[in-house]
Amino acid sequence: MMCDRCDQPIKPGQEERVPVGGASGAGTVVILHRQLCRRSPSHAAPYPAGLGR
């Protein structure tokens, strides 16, 4: 199983399944490491933090 945040493998029992709500992602479930991991460069925001919000 791969983490949807860092794109690295997750060992069994170390994953967390998070349902996505809202109109753009309703019904989607993302799989993440239970402990916060670094975001993959391919998932990073294209603008500096604080801009574009």
Per-residue pLDDT of the chain (53 residues; tens, 9 = 90+): 999 999 999 999 999 999 987 777 778 899 999 999 988 887 766 666 655 55
Regarding pTM above 0.85, the answer is no
- Tally of helices (H runs) and strands (E runs) in the chain: 0, 2
Tokens of 9: 């493998």
31 touches 17 (CB < 8 A): yes
CA atoms within 13 A on the CB side of 50: 0
Q: Check residue 43 and give its pLDDT.
A: 72
User: For residue 33, what are the contacts with CB-CB under 8 A and spacing of at least 6?
Assistant: 3, 5, 6, 8, 10, 14, 15, 16
